[in-house]
Amino acid sequence: MADSTSKKSFLRVFDGEAVSPPPIWMMRQAGRYLPEYRAIRANIPSFLEFCYSPDAASEVTLQPLRRYNFDAAIVFADILVIPDALGQEVAFKEGEGPVLEPIRTLEEMSILDVDRVEEALTPVYETLKILSREIPETTSLIGFAGAPWTVALYMVEGRGKTEGERARDWAYSAPQEFHKLIDILVEATSRYLIQQVKAGAEVLQLFDSWAGALSVEQFRELVIEPNRRIVEKVRAACPGTPIIGFPRNGGVLIPEFVEKTGVDGVSLDHSVPLDWAVDNISDNCVLQGNLDNRLLVVGGDAMNRGIDTILEQTKSRPFAFNLGHGIVPQTPPEHVGQAMDRIRGLSS
């Protein structure tokens, strides 16, 4: 008979267990800091095509697992596959990041077709199926999507490196119009996540990377409520699949986010004091985070101190180790291995 320790450690935290050492994965654990990623990326000119190539996408998902033995793998894809699947023009330009044909009126919104999404994203489900067969049996498989506000920001602005000013203005000046866009995204994202679970995703994460750009009122309306609706829809179809929210830079509104959305876990950015999170976020919610990604660039004593503080502050709670935001390309790969050893108590 299976005892609790035979279950994957990342899944055990969602059963309420304070696993020690905690399970570890890192946002953007696949990516440009790894030379073996850059080698594959160099052969595929279009980033979206890369996301839609199950062999290449599964290979780069596996690369960091071979080096570091993470407890979870996150499927290689991007949050902007949703606007692409809805019919918006999306491209990734070298040195510039994502570029989209902006949607700023109801008429421009009318090109979006929710009914295309599930089928258009079949390659991502294929990647998940390959990964379910190929990841080690102790490793959990994570599926993901961007949360509606964060995806809408890129759809409206047409590019990254903004604070979502146009999107926020639109949401204030014509809330009914903006809510139409959010409704489309709630539906498309829910269907996409449900298909990911059917293809083998064991845990889901919703990235709301730009949650912290909003006022309190807009945070409730554009972050909490859409995340809540997605959790409700996905849970109805896939009961038992843990869902992690990531309202990045949500600050003091994070406990309210957890309570109202009903997420099973919350990923915390590096500005959140973990002792405060332990005291203020419901015990039923797994905490995840929140090492500053700059500490992985710097390494050494500063990194070790950051790790030790996190472990100390979370030892009584079901917790998964992660960063406050994704690994940056300048990160020396050996620092990631040193961090893993430190977290697992394999170095002094």
Q: Which is nearer to ligand 1CP, 94 or 301 (CB)?
A: 94
Question: Binder to ligand 1CP among 47, 70, 170, 257 (CB under 6 A)?
Answer: 47
Find out whether 303 and 335 touch, Cβ atoms under 8 Å: yes
Site for ligand 1CP in 322-341 (CB under 6 A): 326
Residue 282 sits at the vertex; the CA angle it makes with 281 and 286, to the nearest 5 degrees, is: 85
144 in contact with ligand 1CP (CB under 6 A): yes
In 3D, which of 208, 290, 195 has the Cα closest to residue 238? 195
Residue of 12, 37, 52, 78 marked active site? 78
Query: Nearer Cβ to ligand 1CP, position 29 or 288?
Result: 29
269 by Cβ neighbours in 10 Å (0-12 / 13-18 / 19+) ranks as: buried
Asked if 136 interacts with ligand 1CP (CB under 6 A), we say no
Query: Which one of the spans 22-30, 131-139, 262-270, 336-344 is the region binding ligand 1CP (CB under 6 A)?
Result: 22-30
74 binding ligand 1CP? (CB under 6 A): yes
**Interface residue with ligand 1CP, options 42, 161, 176, 316 (CB under 6 A):** 161
Judged by CB under 6 A, how many residues of this single chain contact ligand 1CP?
22
Stretch that binds ligand 1CP, among 75-83, 260-268, 281-289, 297-305 (CB under 6 A): 75-83
Q: Pick one of 127, 139, 209, 288: the residue that binds ligand 1CP (CB under 6 A).
A: 209
With CB under 6 A as the contact rule, the residue among 10, 33, 68, 76 that binds ligand 1CP is 76
Where are the strands (E) in the chain, listed by range?
A: 72-74, 90-93, 97-100, 140-146, 203-208, 243-247, 265-268, 286-291, 319-323
**Does residue 154 have an active-site annotation?**
yes
Q: Taking a C-beta distance cutoff of 8 angstroms, is the pair 335, 297 a contact?
A: yes
Residue count of the chain: 348
Residue 28 among the catalytic residues: yes
68 is annotated as an active-site residue: no
Give me 266's structure tokens.
């919350």
Residue from the set 21, 102, 123, 160 that interacts with ligand 1CP by CB under 6 A: 160
33, 37, 125, 154: the active-site residue: 154
Among 207, 219, 257, 321, contact with ligand 1CP (rule: CB under 6 A): 207
**126, 144, 223, 253 from 197: Cα distances, Å:** 12, 10, 23, 29
Stretch that binds ligand 1CP, among 11-19, 77-85, 100-108, 270-278 (CB under 6 A): 77-85
Span 83-112, contacts to ligand 1CP by CB under 6 A: 92, 97-98
Query: In terms of CB distance, is 186 or 313 closer to ligand 1CP?
Result: 186
Please say whether the dihedral angle defined by the alpha carbons of residues 279, 282, 283 and 286, taken in this order, is positive or negative. Answer: negative
In this structure, is the dihedral angle defined by the CA atoms of residues 245, 250, 255 and 261, taken in order, positive or negative?
negative
- State the DSSP string of 137-199: TT-EEEEEEE-HHHHHHHHHHSBSSS--HHHHHHHHH-HHHHHHHHHHHHHHHHHHHHHHHHT
Q: What tokens does 233 get?
A: 């829809």
Q: Residue 106 is which amino acid?
A: L
Least distance CB 97 / ligand 1CP (angstroms): 4
Angle between helices 175-198 and 165-173 (to 10 degrees): 120
Question: Does residue 31 bind ligand 1CP (CB under 6 A)?
Answer: yes
Residue 149 sits in the site that holds ligand 1CP (CB under 6 A) = no
Classify 244 as helix, strand or coil: strand
What's the min distance (Å) between Cβ of 207 and ligand 1CP? 4
Q: What is the binding site for ligand 1CP (CB under 6 A)? A: 27-32, 41, 47, 74, 76, 78-80, 92, 97-98, 144, 160-161, 207, 209, 326
Catalytic residues: 28, 32, 41, 78, 154
